[in-house]
A and B are shown apart, each in its own frame.
Chain A
Amino acid sequence: MLACAAMIAARTSRKRLGLAVGVLFAGLLVALLLAIALGVEPIDWASGAVWRPGTSEHAIVMSVRLGRALLGAVVGGALAAAGVTFQTLVRNPLADPYVLGVSSGASVGAALAIVAGAGQGAPLALGAFGGALGALGLIYRLGVVRGRLVPHVVLLAGVVFNAFSWAVIVVLASLSRPGTTAEMLIWLMGSLSAPDWLRLGVASVVVAIGLGALIALAPRMNALVLGDEGAHSLGVDVPRTRKLLLVTASVLTAAAVAMAGPIGFVGIIVPHVLRLIVGPDHRMLVPSSALGGALFLSTCDTLTRMSFLAIGSEPPVSVLTALLGGPFFLVLLWQARDKRAT
């Protein structure tokens, strides 16, 4: 009887997973199509020039629009999946790569790479990864008190680390030559631009591996929600699982930051909305957040590109995610306050 019920539950949840993933995937495809179709330059689709390499139409659509939309999707997917993971790890819905200082750590690492004259290639990515992992290691160490993770200590450590990182970056910037300073500050604004295919390919592979790992770890993330003892009683090796999740989420964050600079709020907004829609089960939440993040950031970037027509300049995409994310964050806090009051 019980086994039968469990089987039915499993079947319905698989159906719901299929539905959620299907809808989000379709949404992402639409977003990518819009990203290709929309831009500041009109495209004559009927002439077929778009399909002929060497024409400006081909370069605009395939390289600038498609490349950039795919980059937005990869970065957004990575940030949202990392957000879900961090929220589960510290059992706090306000955690995300930005708040926890992981993005800042990655930024410091990247800034060091820029000061060292490394340019925007592999050294910057490695610097970002080292910084992300270092920041998370430090914050995690601080957050574990007598063998148990204390969420508010982790968040507080993240906030302090953010301020500290910013100071380090400002010091680096003021010690550098003007060109280097400009490079650093421009990079820190967090924006998307047409990527070269090799870099995009490498980042996509890294993000795909990270997402695969998170999806595989999703049942254990469900167990972690029950608390350390609860997870342990279900046979989950809690410290080991935590480490795996931390490293994976850091890799995802570092890949995103290395490609686009720090972009905030994607890791908070997307998981929250999806938690409301698909529920708290990580087997649903992780893949749908990744797809939702991809959808969200590539859409934001299309709006960013189009805004040139309205304001005569193109703001970094991080401005738009923050303009949407800031109020969203406050609404979340407001609702939490109402809940506490009742």
Chain B
Amino acid sequence: MRPRATPARRIVSLAPNVTEMLFALGAGDQIVGVDNYSDQPAGPVDRIPRVGSDYQPSIEKIVALAPDVVFSSLSANRRETVEALERLELPVFVTDTRTLSDMDRTWRSLGSITGHAGESETQIVRLRAGLAAVARRVAGRSRPRVLVVVWNDPLYVAGRGTFTHDLVELAGGTNVVADVTGFVRYPLERILRLAPDVIVLPTHAAVDQGPGAVGYWSRWPELPAVRTGRVTAVEDAAIIRSGARLVEGADLLSRLIHPDIAPR
């Protein structure tokens, strides 16, 4: 995308994390269209026209909204979508936010394109301070072994190189599946051997795999997490999405990993 002189006034966001961040920047009322999976912040986002799924949004709808910028995400959207929009001479900005260290860059890009550069710096400071506060709180404590399950059956876990991994480590835990990279299928028998103390299930799994998602793990009382009742479902947006709620996610994880931390 060419650098632009004036801030974008008509924005289409094709990724839930970007939508969330735009609202946090105060650019919510510049958004004219979002993808179907953008669900945060609940309420305001529901009043914005939808343009289809992340995977295959309606190009026609996007064009009809006459945006002056379309935000996409490298992980959520396809290259075909970006190319189709560029062929129609719509300015597309592709965000690439894979780990915590990418956050500053994404905040700054979104801020400068939408005319909220000042607010993006505030968000970066808030993110750093918030994460530092969580890190301080868990400093010097033992580091329980944590497993974040993305999917129960077949088993998919959050390995290294994911936000979830960064947040777990920051919140005072040790990610037991740091031997793999990304969200990958993982052998159950190795989990039994690794014996995590805490198992975290992002709620999209808990909801969509039926109410038994937490109960599913009760089949393995050999696991310390199961024996001590520390298998918990949490909202996925806070710990999997690289959005505006990372501090909230880190805080939540730190309390699950260290239950003795005083409640807020």
Residues of A within 8 A of B (CB): 39-41, 54-56, 58-60, 63-65, 117-121, 174, 177-180, 182-183, 186, 191, 193-194, 196, 305, 308, 312-316
Question: Nearest Cβ in chain B — how far from A175, in angstroms?
Answer: 10
Among B154, B184, B219, the residue within 8 A (CB) of A312 is: B184
Check B208–A305 contact: CB distance below 8 A. no
For A60, list chain B residues within 8 Å (CB).
189, 192-193
Chain A binding surface, main DSSP class: loop
Among A120, A193, A308, the residue within 8 A (CB) of B210 is: A120
When C-beta atoms are compared, the residue in chain A nearest to B180 turns out to be A312
For B74, list chain A residues within 8 Å (CB).
none
Tell me, in angstroms, the Cα distance from A285 to B3 when the chains sit together. 71
For A182, list chain B residues within 8 Å (CB).
151, 204, 208
When C-beta atoms are compared, the residue in chain A nearest to B213 turns out to be A119
For A180, list chain B residues within 8 Å (CB).
208
Check A65–B205 contact: CB distance below 8 A. no
Question: Nearest Cβ in chain B — how far from A142, in angstroms?
Answer: 33
Tell me, in angstroms, the Cα distance from A108 to B140 when the chains sit together. 53
Given A40-B190, A183-B208, A193-B188, check contact A56 B195 (CB 8 Å). yes
Among A56, A65, A118, A316, the residue within 8 A (CB) of B154 is: A316
Among B185, B207, B209, B222, the residue within 8 A (CB) of A120 is: B209
Check B190–A121 contact: CB distance below 8 A. no
Given A41-B193, A58-B222, A121-B210, check contact A179 B187 (CB 8 Å). no
Tell me, in angstroms, the Cα distance from A151 to B195 when the chains sit together. 54
Question: Nearest Cβ in chain B — how far from A145, in angstroms?
Answer: 41
Check B155 for interface membership: any CB of A closer than 8 A.
yes
- With an 8 Å Cβ cutoff, the count of chain B residues facing the other chain is 30
Question: Nearest Cβ in chain B — how far from A311, in angstroms?
Answer: 10
Q: Which of B216-257 contact A (CB under 8 A)?
A: 219-222
Tell me, in angstroms, the Cα distance from A160 to B186 when the chains sit together. 36
For B188, list chain A residues within 8 Å (CB).
64, 193-194
Given A180-B208, A313-B185, check contact A56 B153 (CB 8 Å). no
Tell me, in angstroms, the Cα distance from A178 to B192 when the chains sit together. 29
Tell me, in angstroms, the Cα distance from A54 to B220 when the chains sit together. 9
Tell me, in angstroms, the Cα distance from A58 to B221 when the chains sit together. 11
Check B189–A41 contact: CB distance below 8 A. yes
Check A41–B209 contact: CB distance below 8 A. no
For A178, list chain B residues within 8 Å (CB).
37, 204
Residues of B within 8 A of A (CB): 37, 53, 56, 151, 153-155, 180, 184-190, 192-193, 195, 204-205, 207-212, 219-222
Check B184–A119 contact: CB distance below 8 A. no
Q: 6 A-B contacts, Cβ less than 8 Å apart?
A: A41-B190, A63-B219, A117-B210, A186-B151, A312-B184, A313-B184
Tell me, in angstroms, the Cα distance from A194 to B216 when the chains sit together. 11
Among A64, A65, A119, the residue within 8 A (CB) of B212 is: A119
Tell me, in angstroms, the Cα distance from A193 to B221 when the chains sit together. 18
For A312, list chain B residues within 8 Å (CB).
180, 184
For B222, list chain A residues within 8 Å (CB).
54-56, 58-59
Tell me, in angstroms, the Cα distance from A40 to B194 when the chains sit together. 12
3 closest residue pairs by CB, A with B: A119-B210, A179-B208, A179-B204
Check B189–A64 contact: CB distance below 8 A. yes
Tell me, in angstroms, the Cα distance from A308 to B157 when the chains sit together. 14
Question: Nearest Cβ in chain A — how far from B1, in angstroms?
Answer: 27
Tell me, in angstroms, the Cα distance from A39 to B191 when the chains sit together. 13
Tell me, in angstroms, the Cα distance from A165 to B202 when the chains sit together. 31
When C-beta atoms are compared, the residue in chain B nearest to A60 turns out to be B189
When C-beta atoms are compared, the residue in chain B nearest to A119 turns out to be B210
Tell me, in angstroms, the Cα distance from A191 to B156 when the chains sit together. 13
Tell me, in angstroms, the Cα distance from A140 to B185 when the chains sit together. 39
> Which interface residue of A54, A120, A315 has the most chain B CB atoms within 10 A?
A120
Query: Other CB < 8 Å A-B pairs besides A39-B189, A193-B154, A314-B187, 6 of them?
Result: A41-B190, A54-B222, A58-B222, A63-B219, A182-B204, A194-B188
Question: Nearest Cβ in chain A — how far from B15, in angstroms?
Answer: 12
For A305, list chain B residues within 8 Å (CB).
187
When C-beta atoms are compared, the residue in chain B nearest to A316 turns out to be B154
For B193, list chain A residues within 8 Å (CB).
41, 56, 60
For A196, list chain B residues within 8 Å (CB).
219
Tell me, in angstroms, the Cα distance from A64 to B195 when the chains sit together. 15
When C-beta atoms are compared, the residue in chain B nearest to A261 turns out to be B154
For B186, list chain A residues within 8 Å (CB).
308, 313-314
Tell me, in angstroms, the Cα distance from A20 to B221 when the chains sit together. 42
Tell me, in angstroms, the Cα distance from A25 to B220 when the chains sit together. 31
Among B154, B192, B220, the residue within 8 A (CB) of A186 is: B154
Check A119–B154 contact: CB distance below 8 A. no
